[in-house]
Amino acid sequence: MIAEQRSVRDLRTTKPDKICIMILDSETKAVELPEHHGDELRLWLRLLTCTTLIEGEVRSRLRERFDVTLPRFDLMAQLDKVPEGMTLSDVSKRMMVSNGNVTGLVERLVESGHLDRRTSDADRRVQVIRLTKAGRAEFRKMAAEHELWIADVFGDLTPKDVRELMRLLAKTKASAQKSAKARAG
Amino acid sequence: MIAEQRSVRDLRTTKPDKICIMILDSETKAVELPEHHGDELRLWLRLLTCTTLIEGEVRSRLRERFDVTLPRFDLMAQLDKVPEGMTLSDVSKRMMVSNGNVTGLVERLVESGHLDRRTSDADRRVQVIRLTKAGRAEFRKMAAEHELWIADVFGDLTPKDVRELMRLLAKTKASAQKSAKARAG
DNA sequence: GCCAATTGCTTGAAACCTAAAGAAATCTGG
DNA sequence: CCAGATTTCTTTAGGTTTCAAGCAATTGGC
């Protein structure tokens, strides 16, 4: 079982099982490792730090300026893109959160008048939700500022940096999806 | 109020308020926008997608293999780096979560025998927490597999990709911190 | 038509998280 | 020394989140 877990893609080409890799990192010092995965781990931690940092910043600003939570904003953002509305399942897939989570979130947003919810005629299991007129207006106001915040957060990156990051993150996403699929499927 | 919010770094050097920027992006098509922030927004969404994807994957595997949650794993990871222990405030700063959050998290980990907690002699407000022997042993086991999962998740990236991502994310982090500080400070 | 599997959503329990307020200990400038 | 500010941690209230279990509607095979 563990042996299977260890068949990491990195090592597929190396045949023996006990190879030691000698790494000379001029910036720090020489390190010797049986398997060299430290870089990926550091990369992951840095990715996580960036996201957490920015997410916290956006969360604070949304609360300060509009007294709204990030999940609500995200849900409204999804709906803004599709005026004819979407099902709860669609939302949960797009937001990458659990189904039960969306139920509660939608409940509160319907309650506050931002969302409109109706049972589908074709399939009575399905709930279609849309932004109300008021909900859409409020979201647009928030979204406009939000875009400026984000631009500011990434303000020190050159256009080239942005393009390069986009490219590398696309590659990362594909790699991660492949890895997730390999485990589950 | 809004006017203040609009002083985005990008635009600081431009004096008039209604400049239109003409951007010729050879890869896509010419676009004309009063302010060009769409790229940053897309970048942010992609960053968030990557992190959410990987985080979900790690969360699943931790639960499956070790029946442990990600926050607990993260907390133990922080403590593993500092054998002599740290204060709750240290932990909350490092993990970038609220103070009250750490209180509950630590409570449960002390309960389950993974953590050891004691009041500091020098300052009786301070609680110092450390991994117990059992806690450390269990963490090391989890960490070893975790490192392989992460290597697998980033498996399709070349070493050069990894280096470049590290560099760009470092720049992103610095930019985001500067932006956050400018708002708060 | 009928039964089983699937799909869409809801519910409930436990954990996680934040912001804000509060309690206790310590520090600091008279 | 001592009152006020600060620091450290806990508590509280309100949400968010996941997972698992469950219900209801639909679909597909026979």
| Nearest residue, CB atoms, A43 vs list B52, B55, B162 | B162
Q: Domain spans of chain A?
A: 37-67, 68-146
Beta bridge partners of B24: B30
Å between B72 CA and C23 C1'?
27
Residue A23 contacts B, CB cutoff 8 Å? no
Q: What is the pLDDT of chain B when averaged over all its residues?
A: 83
Strands of chain A, DSSP E: 21-24, 30-33, 86-87, 115-119, 127-131
pLDDT-above-90 percentage for chain B? 76
- B179·A153 Cβ contact <8 A: yes
Q: Which of A151, A28, A180 is nearest to B154 (CA)?
A: A180
Of B159 and B16, more confident: B159
Element (H, E) at B167: helix B159-184
Q: Which of B185, A14, B80 is nearest to B91 (CA)?
A: B80
Task: Measure Cα distances from A26 to A31, A41, A185, B180 in Å.
Answer: 11, 19, 41, 33
Of B22 and A183, more confident: A183
Angle at B13 between CA B11 and CA B24, to 5 degrees: 60
Per-residue pLDDT band at A36 (split at 50, 70, 90): low
Q: Who's near A49: CB < 8 A, 6+ residues apart? A: B96, B173
How many Cα atoms within 13 Å fall on the side-chain side of residue B96?
A: 13
- A37·B169 Cβ contact <8 A: no
What is the average pLDDT across A156-179? 95
Of B17 and A151, more confident: A151
The identity of residue A127, as a single letter, is Q
Q: How far apart are CA B121 and CA A169, in angstroms?
A: 48
Å between B70 CA and D7 C1'?
29
Nucleotide in closest CA–C1' contact with A117: C9
Lowest mean pLDDT across A8-17, A107-116, B136-145 = A8-17
The set of strand C positions with any atom below 7 Å of a protein CB reads 7-13, 15-21, 24-27
* pLDDT tens-digit series, residues A51-63: 999 999 999 999 9
- B51·A48 Cβ contact <8 A: yes
DSSP B19-84: --EEEE-TTS-EEEESS--HHHHHHHHHHHHHHHHHHHHHHHHHHHHH---HHHHHHHHHHHT-TT
Task: Give yes or no for a contact between A129 and A91, defined as CB atoms under 8 angstroms apart.
Answer: yes
Per-residue pLDDT band at B9 (split at 50, 70, 90): very low
- A50·B164 Cβ contact <8 A: no
Q: How far apart are CA B150 and CA A39, in angstroms?
A: 10
Selecting from 3.20.20.70, 1.10.390.10, 1.10.10.10, 3.30.1280.10, what CATH number does the domain A68-146 have?
1.10.10.10
Of B28 and B162, more confident: B162
Residue A170 contacts B, CB cutoff 8 Å? yes
Cα dihedral A72, B171, A152, A148 sign: negative
Selecting from 3.40.50.450, 1.10.10.10, 3.40.50.300, 3.40.47.10, what CATH number does the domain B2-152 have?
1.10.10.10
* pLDDT tens-digit series, residues A64-111: 899 999 999 999 999 999 999 999 999 999 999 999 999 999 999 998
* pLDDT tens-digit series, residues B53-87: 999 999 999 999 999 999 999 999 999 999 999 99
Residue B5 contacts A, CB cutoff 8 Å? yes
- Distance from the B47 Cα atom to the nearest Cα atom in chain A, whole angstroms: 7
